[in-house]
Amino acid sequence: MTDIKNRYFRTWAIIMAINMVSLTTVGQKTTYRYVPVIDGNWWTITTNPDLGKYTSPKQEPVDFGVWQAADGTWQLWSCIRGTRVGGNTRLFFGWEGKNITDTNWSPKGITMMADTTVGETKGGLQAPYVFSERNRYYMFYGDWNHICLATSTDGKNFKRALNTKGTPALFSGNMANTRDPMVIKIDHTYYCYYSAHLLKDDPAIAIKSAVYCRQSADMQTWSEPVIVSDGGSPAKQTSWYGGASECPFVVKIDHQYVLFRNQNYGKNALNTQYSSPNPLDFGIDNDRYQVGQLAVAAPEIIKVNNQYYIIALKPDLNGMQAAKLRFVKEAAK
């Protein structure tokens, strides 16, 4: 146990040093920040799906991805947990909508299940995130232990992008249950934000979960991880030791980067937001860049024309809901 503690402490020290260096090379000081505000009523876009033989009374749609396919339709794939698929009980299910503002999108069935023959954990699929570039779609997702990659030409049918070892894994760590990826491109560099937590709770280790970021020029070779957000007051507001830094989502507005960082799901849903000029620093065990909190869980932010939308889990964990969102510009404190 002493060796494990020492490893975490050494890792923490190294990452803190990397973060301090990044402050001098990335981002600019600004006199303003952006605060996200839900602008209107919610509407339901998905409900709890019929999974056929995998249906379970305990199943819950949780982390998801939303994107526009090549034919213009909107796709939503959700991790459904608590199913009868075995293993860690998770699989992906999809819905389709003609417009982002439509209610009750059409269910499209089970879209992906873990493939143990390529190294994925049985029932371990988590949190898909999709973006398109040069007529190709890239899906980042978790397999319980790694961040993985699949690609598509139409935004509907995805194929795992296998590496030289025959797996779709890109990277894992530093902590356990590497998951919840999302990717933005800044200049010519891809930034992959994701979550992880300690394998077991340990009172001797202060930071039990974190939002990490890795960078890449080609989505194949990735830098070492940097902690970009952890701890602070939200760490005291989560319902379990590994839940304070889940589902990271970053939106770039002007020279600011707004991070959505999740603490709780369900009826006590809680998500904390930060606005920073540095995409690699949203506050390390402090609230320096915190701008607000919303009673939502696992949100994704979509911009259609000039309108932002927020899509999040319903309070009863039986589907997804959407609302308009705006970002209020205010003086930095």
* Residues 132-146: tens digit of each pLDDT: 999 999 999 999 999
Assign domain 50-172 to its CATH superfamily: Glycosyl hydrolase domain; family 43 (2.115.10.20)
Does the structure show a pLDDT above 50 at 24?
A: no
**C-beta of residue 130 within 8 angstroms of C-beta of residue 137:** yes
Instruction: Name residue 195's amino acid.
Output: S
Kindly state the tokens that stand for 9. Answer: 């402490």
* Residues 253-289: tens digit of each pLDDT: 999 999 999 999 999 999 999 999 999 999 999 999 9
Kindly state the tokens that stand for 169. Answer: 């894994």
Cα angle, residue 239 at apex, residues 234 and 245 outer, rounded to 5°: 45
- Mean pLDDT, the chain, integer: 93
**C-beta of residue 143 within 8 angstroms of C-beta of residue 150:** no
Confidence of residue 28 (pLDDT cuts 50, 70, 90): low
Query: Domain map of the chain by residue range?
Result: 1-47+196-216+225-333, 50-172
For residue 38, the cross-strand partners are 325
